[in-house]
Copies of this chain bind each other. A is one copy, B any other.
Amino acid sequence: MITIGIVEDNVKIRSLIQRYLDMQENMSCKVALDSVEEMLEHLKEYDNPDVLLMDIQLPGMSGIEGIGIIKKEYPDIEIMMLTVYHDSHKIFDSLVAGASGYLLKHTSLPEIKESIETLAEGGAPMSPQIARKVIQHFSDTEKKKKPESNLTAREQDIVNGLVDGLSYKLIADRYDISIDTVRAHIRNIYKKLHVNSKAEVIAKSLRGEI
């Protein structure tokens, strides 16, 4: 039996979903509240549900803020967003905050039911459109990471040494070259990157700008 809680301020939608889910033989949905604040009150007093369906636009605290707080207090509750918002930002923030699923409100009741089952089984239900945005964010973030530096392999070695926090002496030891050679490489690196301190090289490197 999967127990479910709902946080949704639209009474019509809320009671529709609640009644439908509670009607399922493997589910129980007794708690359907208006706001995160009320849900937090409830969680303090009563047994926790397995799954929470959560809106984003709510009176008082937003659903996204709510995720963070609820997940921190009750990490075992699986949270699924059920909202009209499909902009990357809200999706992303929800997932980072700890949501494990993200459905749009036009999702049919049987699909919601299936998604809850998926969630309880350790999956992450998302509509394909949402998944697409998640993936896009991925490749946007990660692809930038190769601005093709014109550093030679050896220079890149030296940069790695710097990033590891090594002194010239230690870099020289690591690659078994003289400290003056390290200096020479660093000089060239500075020229190529238009910087003039270790600090800037490290920062550039860790920002993926090399």
Q: Which residues of A contact B (CB under 8 A)?
A: 92, 95-96, 98, 100, 118, 121-129, 131-132, 134-135, 138-139, 142-143, 162-167, 195, 197-200, 202-203, 206-207
B131 touches A128 (CB 8 A): no
Residues of B contacting A118 in the complex (Cβ-Cβ under 8 angstroms): 128
B134 touches A138 (CB 8 A): yes
B124 touches A135 (CB 8 A): yes
Instruction: Output the nearest chain B residue to A131 by Cβ-Cβ distance.
Output: B124
Residues of B contacting A129 in the complex (Cβ-Cβ under 8 angstroms): 122-124
Residues of B contacting A128 in the complex (Cβ-Cβ under 8 angstroms): 118, 121, 123-125
Contact of A100 among B135, B198, B206 (CB under 8 A): B135
Q: How many copies does the complex hold?
A: 2
Instruction: Output the nearest chain B residue to A115 by Cβ-Cβ distance.
Output: B128
Most buried by B among A118, A123, A199, A206: A199
A134 touches B132 (CB 8 A): no
Complex Cα spacing A123 to B139, Å? 15
Residues of B contacting A143 in the complex (Cβ-Cβ under 8 angstroms): 96
B198 touches A139 (CB 8 A): no
A123 touches B131 (CB 8 A): yes
Instruction: Output the nearest chain B residue to A207 by Cβ-Cβ distance.
Output: B206
Complex Cα spacing A124 to B128, Å? 5
B131 touches A200 (CB 8 A): no
Residues of B contacting A203 in the complex (Cβ-Cβ under 8 angstroms): 163-165, 202, 206
Residues of B contacting A126 in the complex (Cβ-Cβ under 8 angstroms): 126, 131
Residues of B contacting A199 in the complex (Cβ-Cβ under 8 angstroms): 162-163, 165-166, 198-199, 202
A200 touches B165 (CB 8 A): yes
